[in-house]
Amino acid sequence: MAKEKKQVKAITSMSEDFAQWYTDICLKAELVDYSSVKGFMILRPYGYAIWEHIQRIMDGEFKKTGHQNVAMPVLIPESLLKKEGELVEGFAPEVAWVTMGGSAPLEERLAFRPTSETMFSDHFAHVLHSWRELPMLYNQWCSVIRWEKTTRPFLRSREFWWQEGHTIHETAQEAEQETEQQLWTYANFCKDVLAMPVIPGRKTDKEKFAGAEATYTVEAMMKDGKALQSATSHYFGDKFSRAYNVTFTGRDNTLQYPFQTSWGSTTRLIGAVIMTHGDDNGLVLPPAIAPIQVVVIPVAQHKEGVLDAAYDLEKRLKALDLRVKTDDSEQSNGWKYAEYEMKGVPLRVEIGPKDMEKGQCVIARRDTGEKYFVPLEELESRVESLLKEVHDNMYRTAKERMESNTFAFDSVEAVKEAEERHTCFAKTMWCGDEACEVAMKERAGVSSRCMPFEQEHLGDVCPVCGKRAKKMVIWGVAY
């Protein structure tokens, strides 16, 4: 029996079942595959290529600000992990443990890294001597394991791929600046590379990273109105330095503890891109990370000269350093259009005998579906300007959607009613008490996403307890 032929099939519509729509895209656009290990995903070539572009561009940004990559051991001895109490408490329930090496049980079990503050601190203690060596600005690209109970591709899986930056500084002020600088690196990356608007802000104490003094976040809004925490940056003070005995000789010749940060972003960003830009025809990719930026489709390709004309367009576009593919396969045009829409390719260039007669080609945009007849001599300039327009339009559209689905409220009931109508971002004032945060969750079903850097004055009282309000908080339903 022959196996079933591979086809482009329809996906569940977003309005019918958003979660199923998301899963359909992950599989149909061939981003991921499930594996034989429960809760672990496989990044297929198309999905991994997106991640490679994210890595390349983000890594370049990190290096511009003086960061260097390193590689730390993937396994962490339990005793080392436990030296900082809050961190281990936060992560212990999710750790995968190696207990056997070769045929023998280990004397001490080893944690598969859930995050590497402990290993970095241990290394810093080993190599740091003098204030002259500070700051140490390190980063690593690797995978981590967190033993989640329920998993979804990109959003929550037992293994995921990420970068984790870890830095130490001479002063608290420098470390705090680094923490904020890296958050802005993420915010700009989301805007300029992923065409994704985010709200940068500070997490409440309840929501901050285990062991951190302060956690900053960029929060994005998905098309279903839910919030997705897209990257975080943490300031640790000298807590880890003290726990791991990281010291240096200061300018005054005394032993001192450096101040530490960490910051991370993950393959979750791909999930964010899907749910920020995707539609019922599939993925819609921002040009900067699209593995194929332009697909060239020869129409009536058996007709004389059509294939050569298509290859010529490909060659001209590749000369601009664009990522271009000509699909000269035997599939129908309809199949090809659907396939590259599913894969989110930003621009499709069609050329057939009639176009050749007229000295033109057709360019179709993935984001709007608009089609343009373009004189062949204008190919390069139009493709370049269209790619920029696609990015800008994707960002603008997403930003307008987020803004039009964000509301200010002055009572818990109003938040609750709004969320019941449609999941949204709710802005309210807040007194700063965790009890009120918990009450908001219990009564309105939303958790605090962040205290945005851009604060607004919505009043003077906390809508939960009526006491004096200190901060404006954005609340939402989180992924």
Cβ count near 132 (within 10 Å): 9
Out of 73, 85, 305, 369, the only residue in the binding site for a second copy (CB under 8 A) is 73
With CB under 8 A as the contact rule, the residue among 17, 20, 86, 142 that binds a second copy is 142
- CA–chain centroid gap for 115, Å, is 17
Q: How many residues bind a second copy (CB under 8 A)?
A: 69
Nearer to a second copy, 67 or 223 (CB): 67
| Residue from 12, 28, 42, 242 binding a second copy (CB under 8 A) | 42
Interface residue with a second copy among 28, 61, 82, 143 (CB under 8 A) is 143
Which residue has 């600005």 as its token pair? 137
Q: What is the DSSP letter of 458?
A: -
Q: Which stretch binds a second copy (CB under 8 A): 122-130, 186-194, 336-344, 454-462?
A: 122-130
Based on the shown chain and the rule CB under 8 A, indicate whether residue 421 belongs to the binding site for a second copy: no
162 vs 407 by CB, closer to a second copy: 162
Q: Is 52 a binder of a second copy (CB under 8 A)?
A: yes
* CB 243 to a second copy: min, Å: 14
Alpha-carbon gap, residue 352 to 473, rounded angstroms: 55
Contacts of residue 101, defined as CB under 8 A and 6 or more positions apart, other chains included, come to: none
Q: How far is the CB of 249 from a second copy (least distance, A)?
A: 4
The answer to whether 133 contacts a second copy (rule: CB under 8 A) is yes
Burial (Cβ within 10 Å: 0-12, 13-18, ≥19) of residue 136: buried
Taking the least distance from each CB to a second copy, the nearer of 260 and 360 is: 260
CA–CA dist 166, 153 (Å, integer) = 26
- The verdict on 462 binding a second copy (CB under 8 A) reads no
Structure-block tokens of residue 15: 């309005």
Instruction: Please write down the long-range contacts of 81-87, taking CB distance under 8 Å and 24 or more positions apart.
Output: 81/111, 81/118, 83/118, 83/243, 83/244, 84/117, 84/118, 84/121, 84/211, 84/239, 84/240, 84/243, 84/244, 86/210, 86/211, 87/115, 87/117, 87/118, 87/210, 87/211
* CB-based contact 72:116 (threshold 8 Å): yes
Question: Binder to a second copy among 18, 51, 236, 395 (CB under 8 A)?
Answer: 51
Decide: is 131 part of the binding site for a second copy (CB under 8 A): no
- What letter does residue 392 receive in the DSSP assignment? H
Q: Does 112 bind a second copy (CB under 8 A)?
A: yes
Q: Alpha-carbon distance 58 to 218, whole Å?
A: 15
Alpha-helical (H) ranges within 108-245 are 117-127, 172-192, 239-243
Tell whether residue 1 is a contact of a second copy (CB under 8 A). Answer: yes
* Residue 375 sits in the site that holds a second copy (CB under 8 A): no
Query: Of 147 and 184, which has the nearer Cβ to a second copy?
Result: 147
| Residues forming the site for a second copy (CB under 8 A) | 1-6, 33-37, 40-45, 48-49, 51-52, 68-77, 80, 92-103, 109-110, 112, 119, 122-123, 126-127, 129-130, 133, 138, 142-143, 145, 147, 158-159, 161, 247-249, 253-255
